[in-house]
């Protein structure tokens, strides 16, 4: 059996020290060890995006990242983003536009949408579509999700002006 | 699925990586961005006993101009290349290609060196490296070696890299004034691997092209250059007549492999469509 490795990581602003098997990927660590069940697992090979979390300020596939690789770093999950209020407008737009039904994809969608609205404030509707095509949704048909993200891009631009 | 158990090490230097590879041989795997390796571990297509995480090696990072080449460190991520002003200035083909590689969360982790070393025949970076006449810089127990991209890709997922060597950088000759480049690909969904893709470059001599390089993705066991068609285009103005001649030449030259959904005939047709589009854009 492989040895456990020390892991020192800040998750949603809170420091954790523990030991972990190297094969554990980041989302299993968040869900099973920390009880943060907002990040989901669909495919576990990088395709569906349900596991998307922020590592050191950028979104990553939590199923293709080892928990030990987050050592010394900081992770934001949907729980942290919800509590801090940084994506309240995105969450409200998702509700207003009926952009979530079962909600399985929603945490990953919001993670991806957050990086989009922060890094591409001028994104067109076509670019929004391309960007979120990396996250699978089985319920909404995407249209409502694209609408919600476009609403937020517009609102954020207006409040900036 | 979940990965089988393995040991994990995170060395600080390339020499340590090489020593580990020599000790553990085929039981060890190098981990860079993990965007291919982790998926194969999760699916248990591969069960190494030891994973060597190279992401802590500072010497493998960075994008810089060195003399007449742009040197991109193995650990530069797809996103870093996409956003680099130096890349845009000196190797704009890469700036154009980057958004076609998967999706943002994957581009934030996946690396230049990982893509070059993994050698997927449908991937963007190997084809771009070939189209731009780049060089792969590798390091092993006998020191550093430079391998022309033309000599690096040997077969399906097979390269000139020895088992105890790693890719440390890829170098691209700086784009000269009058350089033309183009990238076009067909994928089922934006961000998926190309069904067929084409990365091309040439020098403009007035309205004519010289030194044409046409590197196709998704048609062979390696990224593949259409050398006969390249030669035919030498010194020609890419007008409608030349386009038609080049497409006919390409379709006679290319011998595409099928994939799960596309026959060789479909791919032969699509390759011609991409070439026609790119030559038309070179003429515009
Ligand atoms: C859903 C999905 C879609 C994708 N779509 C595309 C796409 O459209 N186009 C595309 O090009 N790629 C695509 N990729 C692959 C992605 O670009 C990978 O990042 C890349 O192929 C591998 O780079 P990595 O850094 O992640 O390498 P890793 O996964 O860490 O390693 C891959 C392989 O290369 C070896 N390796 C890594 N670095 C080195 C090195 N420096 N020297 C020697 N060997 C090394 C590893 O041992 C391993 O065998 C996709 C991936 C996913 C999960
Ligand atoms: S669970 Fe990670 S991408 Fe599907
Ligand atoms: S809301 Fe059900 S998967 Fe997207």
Ligand 1 pocket residue status of B117, Cβ below 6 Å: yes
Which residue from B3, B43, B53 is facing A23, i.e. has the nearest CB? Answer: B3
User: With an 8 Å Cβ cutoff, are B3 and A131 in contact?
Assistant: no
DSSP label at residue B61 = -
Closest listed ligand to the CA of B32:
1
Is the pLDDT score of A36 beyond 90?
yes
Do residues A34 and A91 both lie within one domain? no
pLDDT given for residue A147 in this prediction: 98
Mean pLDDT by groups of 10 residues along chain B of 284 residues:
94 98 96 97 95 98 97 98 98 98 98 98 98 98 97 97 98 97 93 94 96 98 98 97 98 96 97 98 91
One domain for residues A10 and A73: yes
Residues A90 and A144 placed together within one structural domain of the fold:
yes
Q: Provide the percentage of residues in chain A whose pLDDT is more than 70.
A: 99
Using alpha carbons, list the distances in angstroms from residue B106 to A58, A79, B56, B271.
10, 22, 19, 27
Tokens representing residue A121 in the block: 């404030």
Which pLDDT score, from 0 to 100, does residue B194 have? 92
The Å distance, Cα B195 to ligand 1 centre, comes to 18
Please work out whether the CB of residue B166 comes within 6 Å of at least one atom of ligand 1. Answer: yes
Identify the domain boundary among A46, A77, A108.
Answer: A77
Q: Which of A42, A77, A112 is the last residue of a domain?
A: A77
3-class SS of residue A18: strand
Instruction: Indicate which CATH number applies to the domain containing A153.
Output: 1.10.150.120
Q: CB of A51 closer than 6 A to ligand 2? A: yes
Atom of ligand 3 nearest to the CA of A138: 3
Pick the residue from chain A with its C-alpha nearest to B38: A64
Express each pLDDT in A116-156 by its tens digit: 999 999 999 999 999 999 999 999 999 999 999 999 999 99
Residue A70 and residue A97 in one domain: no
Do A68 and A95 belong together in one domain?
A: no
Q: Clarify whether residues B79 and B34 are in a common domain.
A: no
- Please say if the pLDDT value at position A58 is more than 60: yes
Chain B residues whose CB is inside 8 A of the A123 CB are: none
Measure A141 CA to ligand 3 centroid, in angstroms.
9
Instruction: Please report the DSSP string for A99-114 in residue order.
Output: --SS-TTHHHHHHHHH
- B197 and B160 in one domain? no
- Asked if B35 and A61 come within 8 Å (Cβ–Cβ), the reply is yes
| Cβ pair B55:A68 closer than 8 A | no
- Closest C-alpha to B149, from B251, B72, B84: B72
Which of B2, B34, B105 lies closest to A23 in CB terms?
B2
Residue B226 sits in the same domain as residue B252: yes
Q: Establish if B140 belongs to a structural domain.
A: yes
Please check whether residues A153 and A97 belong to one and the same domain: yes
Do B23 and B120 sit in the same domain of this protein? no
Q: Do B66 and B27 fall within a single domain? A: no
Q: Provide the number of structural domains found in chain A.
A: 2
Judgement on whether residues A29 and A70 belong to the same structural domain of the protein = yes
Residue A32 to chain B, least CA–CA distance (Å): 14
CATH code for the domain of A39 = 3.10.20.30
Range of the structural domain that residue A14 is part of? 5-77
CATH number reported for the structural domain that contains residue B16 in this entry: 3.30.43.10
Count structural domains, chain B: 3
A133: nearest CB among B2, B51, B103: B103
Pair (A39, A99) in one structural domain: no
Instruction: State whether B165 and B207 are in the same domain.
Output: no
List beta partners, residue B201. Answer: B181, B213
Q: What is the pLDDT of residue B93?
A: 98
From chain B, pick out residues whose CB is under 8 angstroms from the CB of A52: 105
**Which residues form the domain of B223?**
182-283
Distance CA B121, CA B105 (A): 22
Going A147 to A149 to A150 to A155, the CA torsion angle's sign is positive
Per-residue pLDDT at A2 exceeds 90: no
Query: Do A62 and A93 share a domain, yes or no?
Result: no
Asked if residue B68 and residue B104 are part of one domain, the reply reads yes
Q: What is the interface size between A and B, counted as CB pairs within 8 Å?
A: 98
How far is the centre of ligand 1, averaged over its atoms, from the C-alpha of B271 (Å)?
A: 25
In a domain, B2, yes or no: no
Predicted local distance difference test score (pLDDT) of residue B92: 98
CA distance B43 to B50: 17
B52 lines ligand 1 (CB under 6 A): no
* Helices (runs of H) and strands (runs of E) counted in chain B: 12, 14
Q: Which ligand is nearest to the CA of A44?
A: 2
Interval between CA A118 and ligand 3 midpoint (Å) = 23
**In this structure, are B158 and B86 located in the same domain?**
yes
Is ipTM > 0.85 here?
Answer: yes
- Nearest by CB to A59, from B41, B99, B105: name it: B105
Ligand 3, residue A109: give the atom nearest the CA: 4
Domain CATH number, residue B149: 3.30.465.10
Domain boundary among A77, A100, A120: A77
Contact between chains at B7 and A22 (C-beta distance less than 8 A): yes
Instruction: Identify the H or E element spanning A57.
Output: none
Domain contains B62: yes
Do B63 and B167 share a structural domain? yes
Q: pLDDT grade, residue A1 (50/70/90)?
A: low
**One domain, residues A121 and A137:** yes
Residues within a 6 A CB radius of ligand 3: A 100-106, 137-140
Residues B71 and B160 in one domain: yes
Average pLDDT of chain A to the nearest whole number: 96
Q: How remote is the CA of residue B147 from the centroid of ligand 2, in Å?
A: 35
CA separation for the pair B175, B183 (Å, rounded): 15
Same domain, A18 and A40: yes
Q: Across-strand partners of B171?
A: B71, B135
In this structure, the answer to whether residues B66 and B165 fall within a common structural domain is: yes
């Amino acid at each position: 059996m492989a040895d456990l490795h020390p892991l020192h990581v800040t998750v949603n602003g809170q420091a954790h020290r523990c030991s972990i098997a190297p094969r554990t990927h980041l989302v299993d660590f968040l869900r099973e060890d920390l009880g943060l069940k907002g990040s989901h697992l669909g495919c576990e090979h990088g395709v569906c995006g349900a596991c998307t979390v922020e590592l050191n300020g950028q979104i990553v596939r939590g199923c293709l990242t080892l928990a030990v690789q987050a050592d010394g770093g900081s992770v934001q999950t949907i729980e942290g983003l919800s509590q801090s209020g940084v994506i309240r407008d995105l969450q409200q737009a998702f509700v207003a536009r009926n952009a979530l039904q079962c909600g399985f994809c929603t945490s990953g969608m919001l993670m991806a949408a957050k990086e989009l609205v922060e890094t591409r404030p001028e994104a067109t509707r076509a670019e929004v579509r391309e960007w979120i095509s990396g996250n699978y949704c089985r319920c909404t048909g995407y249209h409502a999700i694209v609408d919600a993200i476009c609403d937020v891009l517009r609102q954020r631009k207006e409040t900036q002006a | 699925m979940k990965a089988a158990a393995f040991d994990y090490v995170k060395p600080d230097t390339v020499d340590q990586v090489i020593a580990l590879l020599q000790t553990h041989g085929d039981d060890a795997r190098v981990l860079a961005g993990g965007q291919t390796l982790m998926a194969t571990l999760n699916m248990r297509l591969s069960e190494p006993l030891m994973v060597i995480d190279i992401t802590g090696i500072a010497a493998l990072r960075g994008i810089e101009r060195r003399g007449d080449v742009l040197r991109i460190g193995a650990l530069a991520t797809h996103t870093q290349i996409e956003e680099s002003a130096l890349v845009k200035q000196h190797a704009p083909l890469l700036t154009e290609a980057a958004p076609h590689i998967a999706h943002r969360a994957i581009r934030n982790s996946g690396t230049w060196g990982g893509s070059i070393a993994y050698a997927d025949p449908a991937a963007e970076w190997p084809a771009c490296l070939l189209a731009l006449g780049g060089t792969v810089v590798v390091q092993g127990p006998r020191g550093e070696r430079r391998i022309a991209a033309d000599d690096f890709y040997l077969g399906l997922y097979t390269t000139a890299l020895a088992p105890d060597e790693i890719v440390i950088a890829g170098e691209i000759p700086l784009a000269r004034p009058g350089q033309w480049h183009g990238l076009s690909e067909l994928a089922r969904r934006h961000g998926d691997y190309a069904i067929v893709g084409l990365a091309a470059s040439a020098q403009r001599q007035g309205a004519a092209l010289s030194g044409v390089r046409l590197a196709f993705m998704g048609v062979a066991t390696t990224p593949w250059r259409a050398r006969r068609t390249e030669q035919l285009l030498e010194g020609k103005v890419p007008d409608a007549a030349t386009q038609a001649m080049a497409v006919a030449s390409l379709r006679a030259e290319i011998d595409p492999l099928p994939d799960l959904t596309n026959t060789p005939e479909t791919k032969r047709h699509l390759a011609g469509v991409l070439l026609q589009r790119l030559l038309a854009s070179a003429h515009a």
